[in-house]
Amino acid sequence: MSIKKYLVALAVLTTLATSCKTVKEYQKNKLNDSEMSLSNRKVEKTEMSFQSYREGASGANAGKSGGGCGCN
């Protein structure tokens, strides 16, 4: 099999593998779950807390701002 035929077959298979799927009515409630939203993920909140704690420019929960001395 030539490389051109292989690439065409690969493109066709990739297109077929990424086809759209219809979501049923009873499945839509899982799409509206808070974990599915991009801005409200627990992992991102925890990571932001770790980063702000390491930064030292704000408190551990990024609420209060102050120096890195821990006296805020």
Confidence at residue 52, expressed as pLDDT on a 0 to 100 scale: 74
* Dist CA 72 CA 59 (whole Å): 7
- Asked if residue 53 belongs to a domain, the reply is yes
- Asked if residue 26 belongs to a domain, the reply is yes
* Dist CA 36 CA 30 (whole Å): 8
Query: Which tens digits make up the pLDDT trace of 7-58?
Result: 999 999 988 887 777 888 888 877 777 666 666 567 777 777 777 766 665 5
- Asked if residue 13 belongs to a domain, the reply is no
* Number of structural domains the chain divides into: 1
The SS3 assignment for 44 reads helix
- Asked if residue 14 belongs to a domain, the reply is no
Query: Which tens digits make up the pLDDT trace of 51-69?
Result: 776 666 555 555 555 555 6
Q: Which residue range forms the structural domain that includes residue 24?
A: 19-58
- Asked if residue 5 belongs to a domain, the reply is no
Confidence at residue 28, expressed as pLDDT on a 0 to 100 scale: 80
- Asked if residue 70 belongs to a domain, the reply is no
- Asked if residue 51 belongs to a domain, the reply is yes
